[in-house]
Amino acid sequence: MDVATDSTVLGDFNNSEFTFNGITSKFFKRGEKFYVRTNGPGGKIDDFEITHTFGYTPLQQYLIPFENGRYQCLPIAWDVEKKNGSL
Protein backbone atom coordinates (compact mmCIF):
# COMPACT_ATOMS: atom_id res chain seq x y z
CA MET A 1 0.00 0.00 0.00
CA ASP A 2 1.30 3.44 -0.89
CA VAL A 3 0.21 7.04 -1.37
CA ALA A 4 -1.10 7.69 -4.90
CA THR A 5 1.58 9.56 -6.88
CA ASP A 6 2.82 9.57 -10.46
CA SER A 7 5.46 7.01 -9.48
CA THR A 8 3.12 4.63 -7.59
CA VAL A 9 -0.03 4.67 -9.76
CA LEU A 10 0.28 2.20 -12.65
CA GLY A 11 -3.16 2.73 -14.21
CA ASP A 12 -4.04 4.95 -17.14
CA PHE A 13 -5.51 8.14 -15.67
CA ASN A 14 -5.59 9.97 -19.00
CA ASN A 15 -9.43 9.94 -19.18
CA SER A 16 -9.53 6.16 -19.66
CA GLU A 17 -12.87 4.39 -19.22
CA PHE A 18 -13.92 0.93 -18.08
CA THR A 19 -17.49 -0.42 -18.32
CA PHE A 20 -18.89 -3.24 -16.21
CA ASN A 21 -22.55 -4.15 -15.61
CA GLY A 22 -23.67 -1.03 -17.47
CA ILE A 23 -21.63 1.34 -15.30
CA THR A 24 -18.81 3.24 -16.97
CA SER A 25 -16.01 4.39 -14.68
CA LYS A 26 -13.64 7.11 -15.88
CA PHE A 27 -10.10 7.49 -14.53
CA PHE A 28 -8.56 10.97 -14.72
CA LYS A 29 -6.32 13.51 -13.00
CA ARG A 30 -6.87 17.04 -11.72
CA GLY A 31 -3.48 18.61 -11.25
CA GLU A 32 -1.43 16.11 -9.27
CA LYS A 33 -4.43 14.24 -7.82
CA PHE A 34 -6.02 11.04 -9.15
CA TYR A 35 -9.80 10.62 -9.52
CA VAL A 36 -12.40 8.14 -10.66
CA ARG A 37 -15.93 9.02 -11.78
CA THR A 38 -18.04 6.03 -10.85
CA ASN A 39 -20.96 4.70 -8.82
CA GLY A 40 -20.73 5.78 -5.21
CA PRO A 41 -22.74 5.29 -2.04
CA GLY A 42 -26.44 5.14 -2.80
CA GLY A 43 -25.75 4.41 -6.48
CA LYS A 44 -24.99 8.04 -7.32
CA ILE A 45 -22.32 8.69 -9.98
CA ASP A 46 -19.71 11.11 -8.63
CA ASP A 47 -16.02 12.00 -8.73
CA PHE A 48 -13.92 10.37 -6.01
CA GLU A 49 -10.32 11.18 -5.18
CA ILE A 50 -7.96 8.20 -5.07
CA THR A 51 -5.46 8.71 -2.28
CA HIS A 52 -3.73 5.32 -2.06
CA THR A 53 -2.74 2.36 -4.18
CA PHE A 54 -2.90 -1.25 -3.06
CA GLY A 55 -0.91 -3.97 -4.79
CA TYR A 56 1.38 -3.81 -7.77
CA THR A 57 1.16 -6.75 -10.14
CA PRO A 58 -0.79 -8.33 -11.71
CA LEU A 59 -3.56 -6.07 -10.34
CA GLN A 60 -3.40 -2.69 -8.65
CA GLN A 61 -6.38 -1.47 -6.66
CA TYR A 62 -7.20 2.10 -5.67
CA LEU A 63 -8.48 3.34 -2.32
CA ILE A 64 -10.93 6.18 -1.78
CA PRO A 65 -11.39 7.90 1.59
CA PHE A 66 -14.93 8.09 2.94
CA GLU A 67 -16.55 9.41 6.11
CA ASN A 68 -15.23 8.47 9.56
CA GLY A 69 -11.71 7.76 8.28
CA ARG A 70 -12.83 4.72 6.33
CA TYR A 71 -11.04 3.74 3.09
CA GLN A 72 -12.75 1.67 0.42
CA CYS A 73 -11.21 -0.18 -2.52
CA LEU A 74 -12.93 0.24 -5.83
CA PRO A 75 -14.67 -2.92 -7.08
CA ILE A 76 -12.49 -2.65 -10.18
CA ALA A 77 -8.71 -2.75 -10.43
CA TRP A 78 -6.02 -1.95 -13.00
CA ASP A 79 -4.63 -5.01 -14.76
CA VAL A 80 -0.93 -4.16 -15.05
CA GLU A 81 -0.20 -6.87 -17.62
CA LYS A 82 -3.22 -6.23 -19.90
CA LYS A 83 -3.09 -2.46 -19.29
CA ASN A 84 -6.84 -2.08 -18.74
CA GLY A 85 -9.55 -2.12 -16.10
CA SER A 86 -10.35 -5.49 -14.59
CA LEU A 87 -12.51 -7.18 -11.98
Whole-angstrom distance, CA of residue 27 vs CA of residue 34 = 8
Q: Which of 53, 44, 48, 54 is nearest to 67 (CA)?
A: 48
Does residue 71 sit in helix, strand or coil?
strand
What pLDDT shows up at residue 55? 92
Radius of gyration of the chain (CA): 12
pLDDT digits (tens, 9 = 90+) for 37-80: 998 888 889 999 999 999 988 999 999 998 888 999 888 888 88
pTM score? 0.88
pLDDT digits (tens, 9 = 90+) for 16-25: 998 888 889 9
